[in-house]
Chains A and B, each alone.
Chain A
Amino acid sequence: MARIELTGLEYRVGVTRILNDVSLAVEEGECLALLGPSGCGKTTTLRVIAGFVTPDSGDVCIGGASVLALRPHRRNVGLVFQDYALFPHLTVAENIAYGLVRRRVPREAISRQVGAMLETVRLTGMERRRPQELSGGQRQRVALARALVIKPDVLLLDEPLGALDRILRDQMQVELKRIRRDLGITTIIVTHDQEEALSLADRIAVMFDGRIVESGAPEHLYARPETRAVMAFLGASNIVEGRIEAIVGDVATVRVGDFAVRAGHWGGKNAGDAVQIGIRPEAITIGPADSGSVENTLAGSVDELVYKGPHTEVYVRFPGGRDMIVRVQGRPALAKGSVVTIRFALEDVLVF
């Protein structure tokens, strides 16, 4: 268990700048999610930490010491690959023992530790099986066990839940959290799935085009992102353009088409600035506001209803052609075309 620090990583392939001054610190025992779209450089960052990619400049420190000069097999990292990379010609036990054999751990100790790790990932009894005989979820747990049994300084996971179906994914999320909590190991998860990041990480670092644009606790990044791009990437959102008309006291009024939207925060912008405002669909309620409430209210018509099971997404159309998505619990009795009022609080309006 160690602290990881990346400083100023730069990496170019041809003319493309894959890593653009990437700096990051992960505290001991912390779980950080590197979140971003495909091609943003997150996997490359992982491979730099593991040692498969040498950056053009910058440094990688694990436990306070630079590991840049070390070959991959000398860094004490535990890697779980996207395709699990389980050796098909070895049994489950032999796969897990692989790293211990390399470290010349004596035989009795190996079988003890392998057994203990199998218990941790809840695969006792599978020692003699081969990877080909296991299900996807089981394979992932073997890959995890193999990486953890060597007691690495840091655990690196590449898209851990990507290959699993819905139900398995939810189960593995819980499993991963439990194992992490028990072992307290510093972890970095690389993913393009914001749900994975939100559910697994203590802290999220969002990466676009080779640089880290924002990092912070999941709730903070979700509820109070600093940029429009991060808000759009992390969950559904309604984002429209407007202009700040006036700032009076602790309320900013933004003109969006025909409407005036009042916001409780305006991120350091000034009156007259062109801005974008964002509102989460679940922050909007359908129905008129109580008298005396200071919420924003807008009138529109129901354009489309998409039932999702636990909730329904209602597309409300406003004059001027704009749609807003409203998340409503269950299945509301709304007819297409009917006129509705929507309301949302001032604090839920984000201004970029």
Chain B
Amino acid sequence: MSRSDDPSYRMAVGVLGWFGMAFLVFPVLLTIVVSFGGSVFIEFPPQSFSLKWYANIAEVQQIGRAVLISLGVALATAAIATVMAIPAALAITRHDFPGRGTLVAFLVSPVTVPMVAIGIAVSQFFVWIGGGTGWFALLVGHTVLVSAYPVRTLVASLSLSNPSLEEAAASLGATRWVAFRTVVLPQLMPGLVSGFLFAFLISFDNYPISIFLVKGGLTTMPIEIFNYISQNLDPTPAAFSTIYVLIVSAVIVLAERRFGIVSLSVKG
């Protein structure tokens, strides 16, 4: 793939590639445009301009509470999963032990196992053990799902790092804990941040597991938004989507600038 390629090839790659990228971004771009429409229906191009759908977000039933719950659960889940994943990733990358492959496959399997399966299994489990509170079940279900991601990114991050750096630190007088804190942890940063970020986003957005685990008055953002979409035709969800995408984009760009998470995840 260089400047000496045939022009027809270069053009084909360009056209098809950009078309693919357009396909990728088109729905979200469109949603952003529609969110400013004045009509009570979803229409494109919008015939009038209005910001009322943004105001209407507040009218979505329980949305404030749902968003807060989702935020709390996502933060807690991501934190717990990441913290547990750090020593696990260390064990996996630094030591070879019998059954390592199987163990890794087990820990990473929630990525491929259907989310419905996890949701149903965990909710049944809690029924079986006499029912935990809704909060706890929700947290557990989410943690099971997302823990695979910090494990993967941390393992990728660690396999790029150099164990002899710890030995150098030891020879210079650092205890194992100090060496970990000052040498290993900084190297882990991209993997840590991207793992945490993924865990957070996947938990925040999750529907299939939450739907089985919300009890009592508990609800999450995806559940409320989905309910609204199934009962209403107006572009309020478009306004919500726009805000969501803008915030997520900002966070990811910042994370990339500061920690370089993009290049790390490609190596996975």
Touch between chains A and B, by CB atoms below 8 Å: yes
A interface list, Cβ under 8 A from B: 51-54, 71-72
Residue B4 is within 8 A (CB to CB) of chain A in the complex: yes
Q: Distance (Å) between the CB of A277 and the closest chain B CB?
A: 47
Listed A/B pairs (9) with beta-carbon separation below 8 Å: A51-B4, A52-B2, A52-B3, A52-B4, A53-B4, A54-B3, A71-B4, A71-B6, A72-B4
The prevalent SS among residues of B at the interface is: loop
Which B residues are in CB contact (< 8 Å) with A52?
2-4
B12 to A: closest C-beta gap in Å: 16
A52 to B5 alpha-carbon distance, docked (Å): 9
Contacts of B4 in A (CB 8 A): 51-53, 71-72
Q: What number of B residues sit within 8 Å (CB to CB) of A?
A: 4
Binding site for A on B (CB under 8 A): 2-4, 6
* Residues on B with beta carbons closer than 8 Å to the beta carbon of A53: 4
CB of A18 to closest CB in B, whole Å:
15
Distance in angstroms from A71 CB to nearest chain B CB is 7
What 9 A-B pairs are tightest by C-beta distance, nearest first?
Answer: A52-B4, A72-B4, A51-B4, A52-B2, A71-B4, A71-B6, A54-B3, A52-B3, A53-B4
Q: How far is the CA of A53 from the CA of B6 in the complex (A)?
A: 14
Bound Cα distance A54, B3 (Å): 9
Residue from B2, B3, B4, B6 having most chain A Cβ neighbours under 10 A: B4
Chain A residue with Cβ nearest B2: A52
Task: Give the complex CA separation of A71 and B3 in angstroms.
Answer: 10
Residues of B within 8 A of A71 (CB): 4, 6
Q: Which residues of A contact B3 (CB under 8 A)?
A: 52, 54
Task: Determine how close the nearest CB of chain B comes to the CB of A77; give it in whole angstroms.
Answer: 13
| Complex CA distance for A51 and B2, rounded to whole angstroms | 11
Minimal beta-carbon separation of B4 from chain A (angstroms): 5
Extra pairs beyond A52-B3, A53-B4, A71-B6 (4, CB < 8 Å): A52-B2, A52-B4, A54-B3, A72-B4
- Output the nearest chain B residue to A50 by Cβ-Cβ distance: B4
Look across to chain A and name the residue whose beta carbon is closest to the beta carbon of B7: A71
Instruction: Looking at the assembled complex, report how far the CB atom of A54 sits from the nearest CB atom of chain B, in whole angstroms.
Output: 8
Give the distance to chain A from B255, nearest Cβ to Cβ, in Å. 32
A43–chain B nearest beta-carbon distance, Å: 14
A52 to B6, CA, bound (A): 12
Bound-complex Cα distance A72 to B3 (A): 11
CA distance A51 to B3 in the complex (A): 10
**CA A303 – CA B3 in complex, angstroms?**
55
